[in-house]
Amino acid sequence: MFSTDAKETRTDTKLTQKIQSLIIGRLLVVFLILVASWVWNSGRLKLSFEDFPRGLFFVFLICVGLTIAYFFILRLTDNYKLQIRVQFFFDSLLITWLVWRTGDLTSPYITLYILLISIASAFLSAKETLLTAGVCVVLFSGLSILVATETLNSYGVTPAAGKIVQIIGFNTAAFLVVGLLAARLSERHASGEELKKTARTLASLRLLHERIIESIRSGLITTDLDGTIYTFNASAAEITGYKSETMIGKSIYQLFGDIERSMALAIETSEIGDQPPRFESDLITPEGFAVRVGYGISPLFSETGETTGLIITFQDLTEIRSMEESVRRKDRLAAVGRVAAGLAHEIRNPLGAMRGAIQVLESQTKPGTAQASLMEIILRESDRLNKIISNFLTYARPRVSNFSEIDVREAIEDTVMLLKHSPDVGEDHQLETRMPSQPVMISADPTQLKQIFWNLARNALFAMPNGGTLSVETEKIAFNRVRITFADTGCGMTPEQVERLFEPFAESTTGGTGLGLSIVYQIIRDHNGTINVRSRENEGTTITIELPTEFDSQTPAENDHGPSEFKSSRLENFLRVKNQ
């Protein structure tokens, strides 16, 4: 919208242009009358100076002088309305003088009064137009009386007294009728200007309304009482993934599902004056992503206070809920770590004592006897139990160490090479890699990085028992981060399985202990990275890892709320579920 000063400047410029047109048009009309009179007096196309209308030429010279004066005054003052009134007053005086000099009551230029009144309607208000007509009546009537009473010399033939009254009465009636019609025209012109002004104001208000709605960072949808959408702002399109032009005219239930009870509750609480409650729901984007939104519903009232529709505002809670789940997962892992430390202390000490005792007894037992065989089994199983405890501690509390510059491509190629020689890969399995031609260097622990790739690749192969394609892709993205994607065409997972995918000892889809992906999650977190999952049953799973190129031990991924984690995409940095 324009400021008040800008609007006033535009109005003044437009009025100035109209005054300039009036000044130039006046001079042009006088010039045309002068030429026409010269031709008329000559009676032929060949003009002579003997027939030149000297009185009219004098009027033309006066108009030239007035034109210069009017332009000069126009630059000196901005009181435009006063200038217009003064110009029309001098025009009426000039016309009266011209009529007197060209035959007074019989002058052919009496009609210039009518032209003046008509033009005045385009510049003056209705009252001022009538006043201009009245001035013309007074000036012409006064001139006629002064000429009839011989107060002024007559330059024409003086008619009889009755004829003079008839001429004055006829022209007075003509001036007043034209004045009334011109005043009506002025009113319509003023109404048209007001209508244009109102239309421009409404257009500006509509534009402001649309800009406000489009600038709101929350999704905003308006519907009628039947749930038909007729407003869908840009944030709503960004959150839901649907374009506004495709959603307008459709039912809100296609987007939010069955929310009739929520709508009824919102209207009921609004009627009794209470604050409308907030609701939560899952939206499925066109790509199949599940987006958690929190929304509120408010009635839309007309000017008469009648409820004509609903306003639905909503926000994307995916990040918040994912962060909450991440915190809960971290707490569970911390609890597992505490349990692991306790187990190590409580089990290893008696296990060491038992092993020492068995070794003493074994030294006193003859080799080859049944007792010696049992003692060997006990020693072997105690070693295995100790190894299980050590592995469990490693799984539950992996240590990030031995950081160095490593090319991600080499780690992926080593993993793929091992997989190709693994018995888990059958003839129906295909391994594909898509990596840049230039090195992709990051700061990481090479051993643990390969452990991440190995676990994800083996899980993908186990999800394709009858064969399929495993694709591994690496690319550099914004904010100095690297994205590694593992995509398979296996059996996929349900949303519930995805939610518990990184929990220790969760139900495994591959028949393992459920610690593999828990370790992956822990290592990625300790590398200040993020991991997200998209999966659909019977269609496959895509796991995306993002790691920083430089490691900062002071900013673990779980506590990093900076641009490097959150500016890529609101659905790509956190756990995502893709389901039917």
Q: What does the DSSP assignment read for 211-251?
A: HHHHH-SSEEEEEETT-BEEEE-HHHHHHH---HHHHTTSB
Q: How far apart are CA 375 and CA 381, in angstroms?
A: 10
pLDDT above 90 covers a percentage of the chain that reads 13
pLDDT-derived band at 432 (thresholds 50, 70, 90) equals very high
Residue 548 has pLDDT above 90, yes or no: yes
**Position of tokens 């060997």?**
376
DSSP state of 566: H
> Distances from the Cα of 485 to the Cαs of 233, 285, 463, 478, 517, in angstroms?
33, 21, 16, 16, 15
What does the pLDDT look like over 202-257, one tens digit per residue? 777 777 777 777 778 888 888 888 888 888 888 888 888 888 888 888 888 888 88
Residue 556 has pLDDT above 50, yes or no: no
What does the pLDDT look like over 87-108, one tens digit per residue? 889 888 888 888 888 888 888 8
Q: How far apart are CA 297 and CA 223, in angstroms?
A: 11
What is the rounded average pLDDT for all residues in the chain?
A: 80
Q: What is the pLDDT of residue 46?
A: 66
Q: How far apart are CA 53 and CA 62, in angstroms?
A: 14
Backbone angles phi, psi at 429, to 5 degrees: -95, 140
Residue 386 has pLDDT above 60, yes or no: yes
Higher pLDDT, 310 or 33: 310
Cβ contacts of residue 447 below 8 Å, gap of 6+?
402
Q: How far apart are CA 61 and CA 67, in angstroms?
A: 10
Task: Give the end-to-end CA distance of the chain in Å, rounded to a whole number.
Answer: 46
Higher pLDDT, 179 or 516: 179
Q: Is the pTM of this model over 0.85?
A: no
* H-helix or E-strand spanning residue 173: helix 161-215
Q: How far apart are CA 325 and CA 331, in angstroms?
A: 10
* Vertex 289: Cα angle to 284 and 295 (nearest 5): 50
Q: How far apart are CA 312 and CA 296, in angstroms?
A: 6
What does the pLDDT look like over 320-379, one tens digit per residue? 877 887 787 777 767 776 776 676 667 777 877 888 888 888 888 888 788 888 888 888
User: How is residue 198 written in tokens?
Assistant: 């109102």
Residue 257: other Cβ atoms inside 10 A? 13
Cβ contacts of residue 315 below 8 Å, gap of 6+?
218, 219, 239, 293, 294, 295
DSSP state of 555: S
Cα torsion 544, 545, 548, 554: sign: positive
Residue 42 has pLDDT above 70, yes or no: no
Query: If we measure between CA atoms, which residue out of 205, 200, 208, 194 comes closest to residue 7?
Result: 200
Q: What is the pLDDT of residue 398?
A: 54
Q: How far apart are CA 509 and CA 503, in angstroms?
A: 13
Is 92 in contact with 106 (CB distance < 8 Å)?
Answer: no
The dihedral region occupied by 103, where left means phi > 0, alpha psi between -120 and 50, and beta the remainder, is left
> What domains can you pick out in the chain, each with its CATH number?
4-207 (no CATH), 217-316 (3.30.450.20), 321-396 (1.10.287), 404-566 (3.30.565.10)
